[in-house]
Structure 1
């Protein structure tokens, strides 16, 4: 489908390491967050901020709920103060939860509980299985070089999966933690950079057991309705317009690799020219494939805290990378 009418999309980013020291001030003073926090506290019967402050984990259940709240609240701000009226909605990886709430497919309090319960479900699963796997994000690695390095793992009988394609030369690779450092050295040797690793892993075909458990314990019970905005699937770019389709999408995130290029292709085919990335995003709004095709408006906590609260318009500069070894974020609840 193509259209001559300019359209916009709201994009909820995937979750990076979330710390109270980074966003706590924002959450305490921003009126849009405070409104969502009150509803979340009521839904869970406890203070999200207190749990987030005390937990001290980058991906703990309260860190996940806080990231979800911030993403939805920043979209609220964009609607009320920035004139956001999106035609399409994208939830990339963890951002699917915010997209589910914003699109009207699940009331906000229920989406809070779903986020919290999924985090605990994943915690229980990874206490039992796949404790030695991590997912590493790498960049500036051309496809031929990556194929070569992965072939070396295959020759040694080492498990590995490509868990995501984010941009040209930017991938997510799942592998065993004991070989992580040697793999990072090989990535450096072919001219690439290791950004960060997550433990437990994400978006792996091997995680069908987690998908089944999440469906049985949490997602299968969610009272989803048809979204009011069409959603774009983060693994193949398909349009999701029904409750059943959204339920499948929420489950697919466990055992399907994420891919950003198909999302970009679908948005362009739908006539989208502007994307609003609302949430604590360090990646999507800066990717070349994003800035090359869209007018990108980024609204994260940093922009919201500025006196004028003006969203930042991304440039075409590629995301900055560091040559130091990747830091592993312990994802005990995700």
Structure 2
């Protein structure tokens, strides 16, 4: 059974203490991870997360990493299986890197926080007016025509992700956002949420170089203990160099989740264990149509922990 199971660490959406604080207090797997985190960081991550003002602060990102790995710990113990493949779209790459032993947990925590600061510094001075917009029910060919028209006028407009056959992430300057939304609406699509800072755009090559030079070069990334599927193209990552490249690709290469799905299928995966706060990847059509999906998330875990046991 385990040979057809993959561990999935989801990308990070807006997160705050009010949504997951109770889970972090109650769940023993989180408490175990938090103890290790506090020892590695030299302060209480829970306290810093509680005080965080941003949904994507360095402490919020570190807490998301802790929670994802704790839920993976819980999943493995609960199901009694060892997934044979791993994938971590977008931010989920960081948890995947720990799970496959390419980085120690302590190093991954420090790297996550340092990369968060690196991105914050970058977007404070470069591309400070760029956002990433998610759009759904949007025909890909017509969206590309709309984006091409914006680019012809000199606008920055790039695909940052394809999450499903009609679900895209588009990065562009905020001054052109209303025009993009209007165009999407005219083609029968729907604009969902706007991400600040933006992500995964080819224009961010200088951010990639900055993150490599200032952060990743300080860490030794090892070969993964399990095959990893790259979220950008569905290729199999099996070497230290390929893991390192994947971590850097996240800055300037778009996510392509359908390609990742195809990569999982090529390895014979039939079941996904999604470990982390996620309301997106586990629900996408290309996920649910191709796999049995088992979700381990804070909300369901809290419900389980607080439900009285009948005797």
Q: TM-score range by the shorter chain?
A: over 0.9
8 Å Cα contact 1:205-1:255 kept in structure 2: yes
1:86 and 2:101 matched: no
Secondary structure of the 1:181 match is helix
Deviation of 1:308 (Å): 6.7
Name the residue aligned to 2:92. Answer: 95
Deviation of 1:178 (Å): 1.3
Mapped partners of 2:201, 2:256: distance in 1: 13
Mapped partners of 2:100, 2:5: distance in 1: 14
Secondary structure of the 2:200 match is coil
Mapped partners of 2:281, 2:166: distance in 1: 14
Name the residue aligned to 1:314. Answer: none
Secondary structure of the 1:27 match is helix
Secondary structure of the 2:304 match is coil
Secondary structure of the 2:83 match is coil
Mapped partners of 1:269, 1:174: distance in 2: 30
Name the residue aligned to 1:270. Answer: 267
Mapped partners of 2:81, 2:10: distance in 1: 17
Deviation of 1:297 (Å): 0.8
Name the residue aligned to 1:225. Answer: 222
8 Å Cα contact 2:2-2:81 kept in structure 1: no
- Runs of 5+ in structure 2 lacking a partner? none
- Runs of 5+ in structure 1 lacking a partner? 311-334
Name the residue aligned to 1:140. Answer: 137
The residue correspondences of 1:92-171 to structure 2 (distance < 5 A) are 92-171=89-168
Distance 1:78 1:160, change over 3 A: same
Give the stretch that moved more between structures: 298-307 or 170-179.
298-307
8 Å Cα contact 1:130-1:200 kept in structure 2: no
> Given the two structures, how large is their TM-score scaled by the length of structure 2?
0.95
1:29 and 2:26 matched: yes
Name the residue aligned to 1:317. Answer: none
Runs of 4+ in 1 over 6 A off after TM superposition: none
Give the stretch that moved more between structures: 38-47 or 232-241.
38-47
1:77 to 74, 78, 97: 74
1:182 to 179, 183, 189: 179
Distance 1:259 1:31, change over 3 A: same
Mapped partners of 1:61, 1:308: distance in 2: 28
Distance 1:127 1:152, change over 3 A: same
Deviation of 1:14 (Å): 0.4
8 Å Cα contact 2:6-2:84 kept in structure 1: yes
2:253 to 251, 256, 266: 256
Secondary structure of the 1:93 match is coil
Mapped partners of 2:148, 2:206: distance in 1: 26
Mapped partners of 2:41, 2:30: distance in 1: 16
The residue correspondences of 1:310-329 to structure 2 (distance < 5 A) are none
- Cα deviation digits, residues 137-157 of structure 1 (max 9, x gap): 110001232123213313432
Structure with the bigger percentage of helix: 2
- Cα deviation digits, residues 230-272 of structure 1 (max 9, x gap): 1110101111111111011100110111100111111111110
Name the residue aligned to 1:295. Answer: 292
RMSD: 1.6
Name the residue aligned to 2:42. Answer: 45
Name the residue aligned to 2:202. Answer: 205
8 Å Cα contact 1:6-1:273 kept in structure 2: no
Aligned pair count?
307
Name the residue aligned to 1:19. Answer: 16
